[in-house]
Structure 1
Amino acid sequence: MQATALSPCIITDKVAASRDFYLRHFAARVTFDCGWYVNLQFGSGASLQFMAPQPEQPPCNPAGLTYNFCVADVDAEFAALMASGLTPVVPLEDHPWGDRGFAVQDPNGVVLYIYSEREPAAEFKPYFRD
């Protein structure tokens, strides 16, 4: 298979709250919104959908689900998100595997890990592939 795009869709009773959260905190752009289904675009190439439960698709239980957002300046993003009233569920810190990051949660309980890449520690360098 040669996928041309990949994007997650969360089945939730919180479609409007999810849309508003990502618009406010993550500069998402709405590309489709019919009320029970919304498509959000992030920059170029990343998208996320939220859909109200349907008879054949019950609400998602996002426990254990994390979305990773790579950003140019994680410290600036941390400051902005904290100033907007969000609370980290993972503190801002450097990690030896090659990033500096923190995490918050969306209205559905999805963990959003926001990070910037850093030089990995020597013990992690052998695990990187081109």
Structure 2
Amino acid sequence: MSVRRVVPDIRTASAESMAESREFYGLIGLEEVMNLGWVMTLASPSNPTAQLTLATHDASAPVWADLSIEVEDADTVYAAMLERGAEIVHPLQDEEWGVRRFFVRDPNGRVVNVVSHRI
């Protein structure tokens, strides 16, 4: 299994706080690379896998993910997690914004968004 990036997910209170965060992290060197209104990703222009996601909520999941891990194939990781007996907290599904993902709880109680981009 190939990991493409690991991204911390930060919950924000509002669109205004997302904008404030964009400005704040912009001072460090991160730039907006994706914005769906409820979720925004900032990335380093010199190292595009160095990213941070800000969101007011999740559009389709009932829980909040603490971090996202982009993998080559979410289906393979999902099958491995099921075989291990891991707690799936959001089922594997295709999302309208072009990803396939599921949420799983890690041994520390953190929720991980395992995601792959659909081609």
The answer to whether the superposition gives a TM-score over 0.5 is: no
TM-score by length of structure 2 reads 0.45
Q: Indicate the structure with greater strand content.
A: 2
Q: Which structure ranks higher in relative contact order (CA pairs < 8 Å, sequence separation ≥ 6)? A: 2
